[in-house]
Chains A and B, each alone.
Chain A
Amino acid sequence: MENKGWATEEELANWFAIGQCTPGVIAVNTATFAGRKVLGNIGGVVATLGVVFPSLIIISLLAGVITTFAEVAWVKNAFAGIRVCVCVLIFNAVVKLWKKSVVDKKTLALYALILLASLLTDLSPVIFVLFAAVSGIVLQVALKKGGEAE
């Protein structure tokens, strides 16, 4: 990016930060930003398609191969073992996110509440996400305003 003169380091850092706090995959968000800067809205779309294109090809090929061999015993056993690693991968992601997200008692309470609710109910995650956004605004904006007024 810098070599092509499309973005400065600071801009990249900014995009990445915003990419993390907008919905969707971070890499996609950053690519959209970069594309938009170079070529406007069309550039944003084109850059995004560029990011997903290799994934699309590689995964389609791999998925085809894996589905073909999925019934073979040793492939099955291999995946049974790989699943153990998957657990580690997920909790690795959780630990990383934890450091940034659970910063005080309020966020800890929200974390515990949503974890329990999602384990115990069948509700769609969409509901939890909406609930969390609203309660975040209430906790940060509304309550603080009340505090200042006093």
Chain B
Amino acid sequence: MLYLQLFWEFFKTGLFAIGGGMATLPFLYDMADKTGWFTRAQLADMIAVSESTPGPIGVNMATYVGFLTGGVPGAVTATVGLIAPSVIVILIVAAFLQAFRDSKYVAGAFYGLRPASTALITAAGLVVVRETFWLTGGVLFCRGSSLPPCCSCSRAGSSRRELAPHRVHRTLRPRGRGVPLCGRVNAKRKSSRPAAFFCCVPCSVLARDVAG
């Protein structure tokens, strides 16, 4: 069942990721959030490894994710899932090569798809920047110092390891002052992503203040 799910997730990625290997990133982040197979931090490591090994980066990332999720069979399943739509689409397109190249509908679709793909990769890049410089601010700026405790359960994280399951979030308030909320509280909200994105900016300031 896991393998079937893995195949399906990567099939979707292969079908909708347009514009090369990095275009799979937004889908992988979405997968990390929805399935919990791997963390966003692991994903950033995966990008580094995939980029610095031979082979197309999209394929490398799929293999890596699959391996983390289900070992070697998982790696094979994810990779096959990723390339299956490519192969199907290309074999179809190749048969109608001229029609495909001359179609204004295809050209129109890609006129819209290219900026969309760029935007999605930018968004994924911003997530990595946030996790590198702000969420792991615990490492970069204030190693060993304690972060403010969660306002609702008063658990305090003192290191990156504690921070991970206990992400410090602040709800936005006037003048950027807010209340730290731990991941558990935030999970009750239907969507944690927008809050996390905005709240971690003041958080980073806070984390640095504590360090100082």
Contacts and interface: CB of A to CB of B under 8 A. Distances in A.
A137 B116 CA distance: 13
A13 interface: no
B195 to A, nearest CB: 10
A17 B139 CA distance: 43
B118 A94 contact: yes
A128 to B, nearest CB: 6
Given A139-B108, A141-B104, A85 B48 contact: yes
Interface residues of A, number: 81
B124 A55 contact: no
B50 interface: yes
A21 interface: yes
Given A21-B18, A118-B26, A94 B76 contact: no
Interface string A119-150: 11110111011111111111111000000000
A23 to B, nearest CB: 5
B132 A63 contact: no
> Dominant SS at the A interface?
helix
B86 A28 contact: yes
Interface string B99-140: 011001111111111111111111111101101100010011
A8 interface: no
A77 B79 CA distance: 29
A126 B87 contact: no
Interface stretch (B62-70, B147-155, B176-184): B62-70
Contacts of A124: 30
B16 A126 contact: yes
A1 interface: no
Interface of A: 18-29, 32-33, 36, 41, 44-45, 48, 51-52, 54-56, 58-60, 62-64, 66-67, 77, 79-80, 82-87, 89-91, 93-94, 97-98, 100-102, 107-108, 110-115, 118-122, 124-126, 128-141
17 contacts: A18-B100, A18-B101, A21-B110, A28-B82, A48-B87, A52-B55, A55-B63, A59-B75, A64-B67, A85-B48, A91-B122, A93-B22, A97-B20, A107-B112, A111-B116, A138-B108, A140-B104
User: A-B pairs with the 4 shortest C-beta distances?
Assistant: A136-B112, A24-B86, A132-B116, A140-B108
